[in-house]
Structure 1
Amino acid sequence: MKTQTIHINNQTFILHPSGVIYWREKDMVLVADVHLGKVTHFRKHGSAVPHGAIDDNFIQLDAVLEYFNPKTLCFLGDLFHSYLNTEWILFEQWIGKIDAKVVLVAGNHDVISPLKFEELDIHVTNEWLIDEVLLTHHPESRSGFFNFSGHIHPGVQLKGMGKQTLTVPCFFKKKDQLILPAFGTFTGKHTIKPQKEDQVFAITPEEVIPLLFN
């Protein structure tokens, strides 16, 4: 497993191949766009999505928590794709087994009542300011803060020698913000067009790879 470490405002952030970021000084994992319930939602409407995809999100989350063992787990929005369905029961069971404090920075898909999350001892907020860091769902530029967010589901297109192309998820860093890739299974990607001054970190199942653009 090959991660990448970056430093922002004298803080240390570890980019993990799962698409999460570990903030070392705060002992916190940031994860965006899990979209729990999406598989069940699409299966209900006739899409041929493998049932096993439901378990994949929880398996990956468990792997991240085992790797970093963080004090805090912060979801940067779109934790759930839509309204309550059977995956909520699985989520309740999963939350009951973890030790980390859980915070949800609500996204546009988070339409489930905050009261349901609070019953599970999950704090819900629209944004979270920590020192000079701003945690949101939608990317935002705010003077004096570095922003971590999700929402975009960034992906980058790689081109091979034989004109082959492949789009993979990525971390997308600009001067004052970093957008995390979507964590969830069956979430899709939005192909970004980075500028020369941007930084892009492509992810594979085992590696985070810095890319250079001219």
Structure 2
Amino acid sequence: MRLKLLQNIFILNHQGALYWEDQNILIIADLHLGKIEHFRKHGSALPNLSNAVDYIHLEQNIAEYSPKQVVFLGDLFHSSLNKSWQIFEQWVKRQPVEFTLIVGNHDIIPTSQFEKLGFQIVNHLDISAFSLTHKPEETGELYNICGHIHPGYRLRGKAKQQLKLSCFYQKPKQMILPAYGSFTGNFYITPDEGDHIYVLSETEVIQVV
């Protein structure tokens, strides 16, 4: 779905990425790499498949949009260093793009580890009329693009059916991205008047509010 915000064109991708066409930047929120390894380390019997799916989606999005830069809006990794770091390190070295990490509350891996891979590490990133942050923030005159809350929405049918989907959540001066990671969970939104909800299906983004 193409969306115009402050005269800039953004593409809402059904896998959860936001592509900023005017700046040629791909924006990703809340990937939470290593979360499965973290839980397995503490005794949970979980299959190690979600990270592979996330890397496939990242590869597809980078190939589709050919961005000059990928900006992660925080919580790139779920916890401290584990086996997933080596996979990530090798993946980054193969990518033809620049990377920026806006530090989130789960990003406890030393910044020096990312800087060795060429990452720019910041607490927020202001570009043009937009402010990119991890958590939703009041950013004055700037339009806030953020993540953190893992927005989702419940679609309800007439026969009390219910479908729970991840979504982009747009407020008057803010766009909150869905969690990109496939092992994250959602916080289900009740939108206020004037808000908009764009749910993710398997093949497209659909506005429902």
TM, length-normalised to structure 1: 0.96
State the shift of 1:190 in Å.
Answer: 0.3
State the shift of 1:60 in Å.
Answer: 1.2
Q: Does 1:166 align with 2:163?
A: yes
Contact 1:148 1:180 in 2 (8 A): yes
- The alignment of Structure 1 onto Structure 2 pairs a total of residues equal to 209
Question: What is the DSSP-based 3-state SS (H/G/I as helix, E as strand, rest coil) of the residue aligned with 1:110?
Answer: coil
Question: What is the DSSP-based 3-state SS (H/G/I as helix, E as strand, rest coil) of the residue aligned with 2:153?
Answer: strand
State the shift of 1:53 in Å.
Answer: 2.0
Question: How do 1:112-131 residues align onto structure 2 when only pairs under 5 Å count?
Answer: 112-131=109-128
Q: Residues of 2 paired with 1:71 and 1:205: CA distance?
A: 26
Q: Residues of 2 paired with 1:59 and 1:43: CA distance?
A: 22
Question: What is the DSSP-based 3-state SS (H/G/I as helix, E as strand, rest coil) of the residue aligned with 1:62?
Answer: helix
Give the counterpart letter for 1:149 in structure 2.
C
Where in structure 1 are there 5+ consecutive unaligned residues? Answer: none
Equivalence for 1:145: 142
Q: Deviations over 1:129-164 (max 9, x none)?
A: 101100000001121100000000000011012101
Equivalence for 1:30: 27
For residue 188 of structure 1, the aligned residue among 174, 185, 190 is 185
Question: What is the DSSP-based 3-state SS (H/G/I as helix, E as strand, rest coil) of the residue aligned with 1:166?
Answer: strand
Give the counterpart letter for 1:184 in structure 2.
G
Q: Residues of 2 paired with 1:26 and 1:206: CA distance?
A: 25
Where in structure 2 are there 5+ consecutive unaligned residues? Answer: none
Give the counterpart letter for 1:73 in structure 2.
V
State the shift of 1:48 in Å.
Answer: 2.5
Q: Residues of 2 paired with 1:138 and 1:117: CA distance?
A: 21
Question: What is the DSSP-based 3-state SS (H/G/I as helix, E as strand, rest coil) of the residue aligned with 1:173?
Answer: strand
Runs of 4+ in 1 over 4 A off after TM superposition: none
Q: Deviations over 1:72-127 (max 9, x none)?
A: 10000000000000000000000010011000011000001111100000011000
For residue 36 of structure 2, the aligned residue among 35, 39, 42 is 39
Q: Residues of 1 paired with 2:180 and 2:73: CA distance?
A: 10
Equivalence for 1:60: 57
Q: Deviations over 1:19-76 (max 9, x none)?
A: 1100001000000000000011111122232122231111111111111111110000
Question: What is the DSSP-based 3-state SS (H/G/I as helix, E as strand, rest coil) of the residue aligned with 1:70?
Answer: coil
State the shift of 1:201 in Å.
Answer: 0.2
Percentage of matched positions with identical amino acids = 41
Equivalence for 2:195: 198
Measured on the aligned residues, the alpha-carbon RMSD in Å equals 0.8
Q: Deviations over 1:2-25 (max 9, x none)?
A: xx1111111110000011100001
Equivalence for 2:71: 74
Equivalence for 1:156: 153
Contact 1:156 1:168 in 2 (8 A): yes
For residue 175 of structure 2, the aligned residue among 162, 165, 178 is 178
Contact 1:40 1:54 in 2 (8 A): no
TM, length-normalised to structure 2: 0.98
